[in-house]
């Protein structure tokens, strides 16, 4: 992205970033997913689970979470929608959006849907590169306020 990026440029860049990022996550490429965060990036995917910090911490947390599917092969897809991109003074972006997790099991045409999530990201845009400084995922069924 250029220094003179319009809001439309920014919105498109954020969408493209999320498309790449979520496909890394859903294909189990956790190292590459972690690299989409800044080196000191913070990631909390579930309220009550301590946030992971840094690339190694994020990979470790995703591997830990993934062990629940060791004997239960699934294809998970995180579907992001309703992006609300709010630029901050200084160039970071506050982004809030909805995320639905679809879980499909072999031979089952109908996916399981859930959790339904409300996500708050802080994105850094540096040298045209978008990265997460932080990601906090709220789960609707826990009925917490955002």
Residues that bind ligand SDN (CB under 6 A): 25, 45-46, 65, 78, 99, 101, 115, 117, 119, 137
Toward ligand SDN, which CB reaches closer, 6 or 75? Answer: 75
Report CA torsion sign: 79, 83, 86, 91: positive
Minimum CB–partner distance for residue 19 and ligand SDN (Å): 13
User: Which CB sits closer to ligand SDN, 9 or 114?
Assistant: 114
Residue with token string 């045409």? 109
H or E segment at 58?
A: helix 54-66
C-alpha–C-alpha distance, residues 97 and 105, integer Å: 26
Closer to ligand SDN by CB, 13 or 95: give it. Answer: 95
Q: How far is the CB of 117 from ligand SDN (least distance, A)?
A: 5
Number of H-type helices and E-type strands within the chain = 3, 6
């Amino acid at each position: 992205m250029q220094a003179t990026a319009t809001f439309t440029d920014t919105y498109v860049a954020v969408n493209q970033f999320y498309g790449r990022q979520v496909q890394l996550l859903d294909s189990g490429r956790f190292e590459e997913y972690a690299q989409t965060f800044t080196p000191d990036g913070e990631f909390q995917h579930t309220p009550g689970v301590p946030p992971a910090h840094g690339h190694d911490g994020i990979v470790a947390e995703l591997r830990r979470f993934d062990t629940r599917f060791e004997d239960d092969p699934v294809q998970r897809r995180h579907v992001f929608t309703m992006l609300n991109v709010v630029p901050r003074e200084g160039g970071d972006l506050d982004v809030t959006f909805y995320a639905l997790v679809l879980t499909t099991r072999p031979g089952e045409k109908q996916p399981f849907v859930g959790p339904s999530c409300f996500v708050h990201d802080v994105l850094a845009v540096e040298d045209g590169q978008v990265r997460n400084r932080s990601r906090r995922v709220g789960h609707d069924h826990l009925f917490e306020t955002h």
